[in-house]
């Protein structure tokens, strides 16, 4: 079976024998409860994550600017 979303993976894996490659943070509760098991845990890859803002760069990313602008709009009086 092939699925395209993490929510479908979370529904399918406990019901069937399946392997899923997903971020551990999104299924940690399932792992803790025993609903899902970790396979090849010694080979799991970790990385620091994604960032919208890098202090070493002079120019902000487009994604960061969009978020800042939407926050400004939500705080402005109507």
* Residues contacting residue 62 through CB under 8 Å, at least 6 positions apart: none
60 within domain boundaries: yes
Structural domains counted in the chain:
1
Question: What's the mean pLDDT in 55-66?
Answer: 84
Average pLDDT value for the chain = 81
| pLDDT for 6 | 78
Percent of the chain past pLDDT 70, that is, above it, reads 91
Q: Is 14 exposed, middle or buried (0-12, 13-18, 19+ CB in 10 A)?
A: exposed
Under the banding of pLDDT at 50, 70 and 90, the label for residue 32 is very high
Average pLDDT over residues 22-35: 88
Residues of the domain holding 67: 6-75
**pLDDT band with cut points at 50, 70 and 90 for residue 77:** low
| Residue 62 belongs to some domain of the structure | yes
* Residue 1 lies inside a defined structural domain of this protein: no
């Amino acid at each position: 079976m092939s699925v395209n979303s993490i929510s479908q993976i979370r529904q399918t894996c406990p019901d069937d024998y399946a392997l899923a490659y997903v971020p551990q943070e999104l299924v940690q509760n399932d792992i803790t409860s025993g609903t899902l098991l970790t396979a090849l845990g010694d080979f799991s890859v970790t990385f620091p994550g994604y960032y919208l803002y890098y202090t070493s760069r002079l120019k902000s990313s487009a994604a960061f600017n969009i978020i800042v602008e939407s926050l400004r709009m939500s705080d402005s009086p109507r």
